[in-house]
Structure 1
């Protein structure tokens, strides 16, 4: 019971942080796999001390004239919001070994609510599970399979993400 309460509190903190940076019009929706397991790390937390790989990688490409640092993350999140960029996770809670496919119908509903102009799926398993359903639904999803920018995949992420941004 205590773990469930703690998980609900973290989920609420993440939702509030994301809502703060949600654009009025979502031009570019990024769909990642799941939030990090660590309660103090999340794409939309402005004060992440370590392992903020996804945020930094996205910011470097979308905001190429600004180097992401811990001290300017809140400002960069505002700039991403102002450009219409928003990130959601396929799975609402950290990865725990469960398969991702059961989360795809809910993802479709969340995407319909956000009505993005473009969608990029980040991480191979997210692409493999979600792309067919999004494409069948006629959603504006990129056909580029973008790897997560870690574990030696940083260069591949940069290349694939850039191709997806260019409209592939």
Structure 2
């Protein structure tokens, strides 16, 4: 999976996200990914916490890398876009080193930036179009798009 960038947590544990196992918080990406892959519900996550699901993702070979290796969420629109475009070659290189069975780009505006470079690098992009970021109001759309893409692996 390729997402935009790590969020700027400002040093506040309440703002840490995907890989921070000690607190679930408002981690829409994590919630969406485990809902898509494992069918995990909000109640299950509240009961179990993140750690068992992070361990399961790792055990089953799922990786999440970011297009930009540093936070871009605080940048203006133009600066953010420029930072993301500039980060494409490095991201494609990192993805290639992982030798993935498949790649899913998470966030609709990243897909046009990454589609050509990923395909040019012979990386197995699984989706045919953008997949929305899994916010509360787009989580069902994300789960559907993610699973359609993942179905190309025969999973």
Fold match by TM threshold 0.5? yes
- CA distance in structure 1 between the partners assigned to 2:62 and 2:4 by the alignment: 17
- CA distance in structure 2 between the partners assigned to 1:157 and 1:80 by the alignment: 18
Pairwise CA RMSD: 1.9
TM-score under structure 2 length normalisation: 0.81
Alpha-carbon contact 1:104-1:129 (below 8 Å) kept:
yes
Change (3 A) 1:128 1:84: same
2:57 paired with 1:88: no
Q: How far off is 1:92 after superposition?
A: 1.3
Aligned position for 1:156: 141
150-159 vs 55-64, which moves further:
150-159
Aligned position for 2:96: 112
The runs of 5 or more residues in structure 1 that have no matched partner are 1-29
Aligned position for 1:138: 122
TM-score under structure 1 length normalisation: 0.75
The runs of 5 or more residues in structure 2 that have no matched partner are none
Aligned length: 139
2:102 paired with 1:124: no
- CA distance in structure 1 between the partners assigned to 2:54 and 2:110 by the alignment: 23
- CA distance in structure 2 between the partners assigned to 1:68 and 1:140 by the alignment: 30
| Deviation beyond 6 Å, 4+ runs, structure 1 | none
Q: How does 1:8-87 map to 2 (within 5 A)?
A: 30-38=1-9, 39=11, 40=13, 41-64=16-39, 67-69=44-46, 71-87=48-64
Aligned position for 1:147: 132
